[in-house]
Amino acid sequence: MTAPSLSVAAHQPVFRPLAAWLTAELVTWIPAAWRRDGDPALLAVREDGRIRLLRRDGAPLDRAPRRGSRVVVRPGVKALHRRFALPVAAAGHLRPIIANQIDHRTPWPADQVWFGAAILGHNEDERLIDVRMTVTPRASVEAPLDAVRALNLRPTALEVEDGEGGWIALPLDEDDAPSAARRARRWLPALIPLALLAGLFAPPLLERAALTAALEESGRASAEVRRLATALEDSKAASAYAERRKTDTPSAAVVLEVLSRLLPDDVWLNEFHLDAGTVLLMGQAADANRLPALLSASSHFADVQFRSAVVREAAGGDRFQLSARVVPHAAP
């Protein structure tokens, strides 16, 4: 009598789903820094309170998504946009610096929002760059994020409208606390005996790994503090520079106000130019030769002189060109 043979192929349909499920579960526990997922392959769009899953290019899905797939979520909420200038040195530390600005530039604390940061280009001042901060409260998007997590998918970013027909990505934390908590509850019964077994056979390795991790975390925290301190000093320097520019640069409105009080009624100005702290006046006066003394007597002007000879007109009066260095003042 021939013994019955076992066919491996006959058992493949049973083991294949089990292996796929186990692989997907294990992938979700791999640290984010070790994974190389590439760009998210799915797009979750919130419409009429429901979540619709699409491919990243917006096309319909041709099959069910794999467990733990990465998803970009469009929650259908408005975001707050702020544009401002930062020192050029901030370009290398943009996200931590923007996070430090959230409390000052938005109605919410930094730990209650998701945010994105982008460099728009160089400012007119070559020492500064223009940046855009986009913020949305976490409470307003928690419902769509929970709906995506309930499908055993992993949200990695939000996309909100930029107000110009495009989309802005707001990265989510790599360690998603709600989904991590659910995974921990699901795997806890199996992890406890495994942890006990590892504790029995490899305590030196565990202690060394814990010490190494603690030292690395301490080093990262110290480096981050140094980076933020440097960025803060750069920001203070830029603010002080802008304030000095504002104080040292004469205002055309102030200069005109001073001239209106100093010049007699028989003086007419045809042209007024203010450039690099020097004012140029061209016009007519009954007696132009007295103008340098009038302007020099004011604390607002210095180095007053004619730019060309005074021309006496046949109809009476003088035509003149006069220049003076403006001494900046806060008010006339």
Looking at mean pLDDT, say which of 47-61, 100-114, 205-219 comes out highest: 100-114
Could you check whether 34-174 and 252-326 share the same CATH topology? Answer: no
pLDDT at residue 5 in the model? 42
Mean of pLDDT values over 15-33? 56
Domain ranges for the chain: 34-174, 193-248, 252-326
pLDDT at residue 4 in the model? 43
What's the pLDDT tens digit per position in 66-97? 888 899 999 989 899 999 999 989 888 899 99
pLDDT at residue 170 in the model? 92
Q: Is 50 exceeded by the pLDDT of residue 1?
A: no
Give the model's confidence band at 158: pLDDT under 50 very low, under 70 low, under 90 confident, else very high.
Answer: very high
| CA distances in angstroms from 322 to 105, 167, 184, 233, 263, listed in the order given | 46, 55, 81, 44, 13
Provide the CA 183 distance to its chain's centre, in angstroms. Answer: 32
CB-based burial, 86-107: b 16+ in 10 Å, e otherwise:
bbbbbeebbeebbbebbeeebe
Q: Is 50 exceeded by the pLDDT of residue 227?
A: yes
Q: CA-to-CA distance for 142 and 148, rounded, in angstroms? A: 10
Q: Is 50 exceeded by the pLDDT of residue 155?
A: yes
The domain covering 252-326 belongs, at the CATH homologous superfamily level, to General secretion pathway protein M, EpsM (3.30.1360.100)
Cα 62-64-69 angle, rounded to 5 deg? 110
Q: Is 80 exceeded by the pLDDT of residue 195?
A: no
Looking at mean pLDDT, say which of 130-139, 194-203, 276-285 comes out highest: 130-139
pLDDT at residue 80 in the model? 92
Percent of the chain past pLDDT 90, that is, above it, reads: 20
Q: CA-to-CA distance for 90 and 243, rounded, in angstroms? A: 19
Q: CA-to-CA distance for 307 and 325, rounded, in angstroms? A: 13
Which comes out higher in pLDDT, residue 194 or 57?
Answer: 57
The total of other beta-carbon atoms located within 10 Å of residue 58's CB is 8
How do beta strands 128-137 and 80-87 pair?
A: antiparallel
User: Is 34-174 in CATH node 3.30.70.980?
Assistant: no
Which comes out higher in pLDDT, residue 32 or 261?
Answer: 261
What's the pLDDT tens digit per position in 42-67? 888 888 888 888 888 888 888 888 88
